[in-house]
Amino acid sequence: MTQRRGWRGRVWDDRAVTPDELLAEIEARYLDAREARDRYDVAVATGEPSDPEAVAALRRVAEDDVVALTAIMGGMPAAMREALDPERRRALDAIEAGIVASEAFSPPVGATLATGDCANADAWREVIAAGGEPLQRRLEACYTAAAGAIDAGDGTALTRAQVLERLGAEPEGARRRDLFLALGPLWRAVNGDDADGSPYRAYVAGVAPMWRAKHDGDADPGLGLRRREIAEWSIAALDAWKAAVVDPARDRGEPPMEPWDWWWRAGDAQRAIGVIGLDRAVAVNRAYFASLGADLGELDVRLDLTARPGRPPVPVAFTTFGGRPRQRSDGSWSPGAPLILESLTDGGFGELAELVHETGHAIHIAGIRTRPAYTDWPDSDALTEALADVPAYDLAEPRWQRRWLPDVAPIAASVSIRCWYAGVVLDAAWALFEVRMLLDPTQRPNEVWTDITSTWLGIAPHPEWSWWAIRGQLVQEAGYMANYAAGSVLATAMRAAIRRRRGSWIDGDPGWYAWVRDAVYRHGLERPSRHVVEALVGGPVTPDALLAEISRASRG
């Protein structure tokens, strides 16, 4: 921890201190405290250091920094706060909110399993009765355990991601069905038998009132979106998919597809591309971002991509701050130390797409250029996800594939677009499912999911299976799937706006990163997300750009 001067009531080192001087000191300490917490979080996520005492020491430093900062802020006279102009008071408010976030130390995923095996009905009844965080943590832990060890039926244990990859590659329908049903322990860990005693149903019933209160007046605080608008955007995307893909198939007399065939039909492009290899996927990812002016080495982006002994499981890929961007004494900027955590296996096209998405998060972190109070993710998770997809959506384009995977056989644009946006509309379906469950937790989840997937995706109804529960975000944070639905709208709108100003960047644009950084990334929490997006796109966001992209799936 960086040592700084001591606070002595109304004086600083025996001299009068101005409100601006005190705020500058608070901000400097705040940035140090956030970085201390980042170091602890990274240690927990990576398993490094492996010594529990070393990890505990990192936690103590993070806690001590927060205590010290809280004491300084508590000693700030009211007159000093009042002497700050509105912008500086807003910065102080952001720091206070960040301190509250830094004080929450959740146990590592899996810790809740100490109370009993995930198949222990008595343990589930006890934790369902407790509700709240114990239930959410156990749900997440049991999901993680099940997702990491799925019996493929051939003597091998697969992860959830590997099963979905195989569903897209397995030519035999019967084998695809077996692979799909092998996911049963995963969805049963979340939803049981869909009866009243379901852990997920208890979880949703518990969090729904808080979720609705958070969206007071239906409005998302960052983007100014109303939850009904997010549902409408999801339905608009699903309607576009139905018109482009499902209705033509029905007109041809094709029966509804089985759920295990969804990944097969969405995997046409992936099968044509074949296995890339993990080393090559990493190299392509680096080269692509370097062509945009975002050198991952210069930005200190760390990749932690494969499972290893001692590293906790990573059921859902994520990117986090390994350190915060900060301005150096010479006026230049340190990019912090963004960390990408995934569990990749063979480097297929789907894994490459996920890696590009997470790298989109990393260059966003590295591009924050604002005062310490605002050095964090934006105030909208939907914008955060959208910004990661601005470069990632390039992978849908045959031109990108020819440029960065030149040995791959050409793929028809309509096929490539259909395969890419199949994932987008499936996320829209999950978002709509979650919104409907949170608005009315008394519903049976399987029936809600079956209605959505049979109506818009052309999937045969199977209300006996809780296959919706294979999406980990559903048990990690209530309402988070809406960020993907809104994010796809924001991503396509921002992509269109950037193209209008700079043209296509698929073949490379060395000035792209600096331009997008200054237009969007740099703000952190400094400006409301709605203002950032509308300044870029030139007005209110609509789903028109997304609907236009989905419609390309119907073109021959």
In a domain, 154, yes or no: no
Report the pLDDT value the prediction gives residue 246, as an integer from 0 to 100: 96
In a domain, 124, yes or no: no
Query: Using the 8-state DSSP alphabet, how is residue 341 labeled?
Result: E
User: What is the rounded CA–CA span in Å between residue 390 and residue 386?
Assistant: 6
Q: Are strands 302-304 and 338-341 parallel, antiparallel or unpaired?
A: parallel
Q: Does residue 98 sit in the same domain as residue 225?
A: no
In a domain, 278, yes or no: yes
**pLDDT tens by residue, 297-313:** 999 999 999 989 999 88
Could you tell me the pLDDT band of residue 244, with boundaries at 50, 70 and 90?
A: very high
**Among 102, 121, 144, which residue terminates a domain?**
102
Report the pLDDT value the prediction gives residue 149, as an integer from 0 to 100: 87
**pLDDT tens by residue, 259-273:** 999 999 999 998 999
User: What is the rounded CA–CA span in Å between residue 140 and residue 483?
Assistant: 19
Q: Does residue 94 sit in the same domain as residue 238?
A: no
**pLDDT tens by residue, 65-77:** 999 999 888 888 8
Smallest CA-to-CA distance from 483 within 280, 138, 225, 175 is with 225
Written in H, E and C, the secondary structure of 313-361 is: CCCCCEEEECCCCEECCCCCEECCCEEEECCCCCCCHHHHHHHHHHHHH
For residue 226, what is the domain's CATH number?
A: 1.10.1370.30
Judged against a pLDDT cut of 60, whether residue 13 lies above it is answered with no
**Among 80, 102, 124, which residue terminates a domain?**
102
- Token representation of residue 531: 């203002």
Judged against a pLDDT cut of 80, whether residue 217 lies above it is answered with no
Could you tell me the pLDDT band of residue 3, with boundaries at 50, 70 and 90?
A: very low
Q: Cβ distance 266 to 324 under 8 Å?
A: no
**Among 102, 129, 164, which residue terminates a domain?**
102
Q: Within 10 A of 193 (CB to CB), how many other CB atoms are there?
A: 11
In a domain, 263, yes or no: yes
**pLDDT tens by residue, 440-497:** 999 999 999 999 999 999 999 999 999 999 998 899 888 889 888 899 999 999 999 9
Give the structural domain span for 66. Answer: 7-102
| DSSP SS3 for 406 | coil
In a domain, 172, yes or no: no
CA angle 407–413–415, rounded 5-degree value? 95
Q: Does residue 231 sit in the same domain as residue 96?
A: no
In a domain, 532, yes or no: yes
pTM of the entire predicted model: 0.88
Judged against a pLDDT cut of 90, whether residue 119 lies above it is answered with no
Q: Does residue 384 sit in the same domain as residue 520?
A: yes
Backbone angles phi, psi at 333, to 5 degrees: -120, 135
Average model confidence (pLDDT) across the chain? 89
| 523 exposure class (CB count in 10 Å sphere: 0-12, 13-18, 19+) | buried
The single residue listed with the structure tokens 């240690």 is 43
231 sits in which H/E element: helix 227-241
In a domain, 226, yes or no: yes
Judged against a pLDDT cut of 60, whether residue 12 lies above it is answered with no
Across 17-31, 132-146, 151-165, 253-267, the highest mean pLDDT is recorded for 253-267
In a domain, 383, yes or no: yes
Report the pLDDT value the prediction gives residue 105, as an integer from 0 to 100: 64
Query: Using the 8-state DSSP alphabet, how is residue 154 labeled?
Result: S
User: What is the rounded CA–CA span in Å between residue 537 and residue 498?
Assistant: 8
Report how many domains make up the chain.
Answer: 2
Which region among 96-105, 212-221, 231-240, 241-250 has the lowest average model confidence (pLDDT)?
212-221
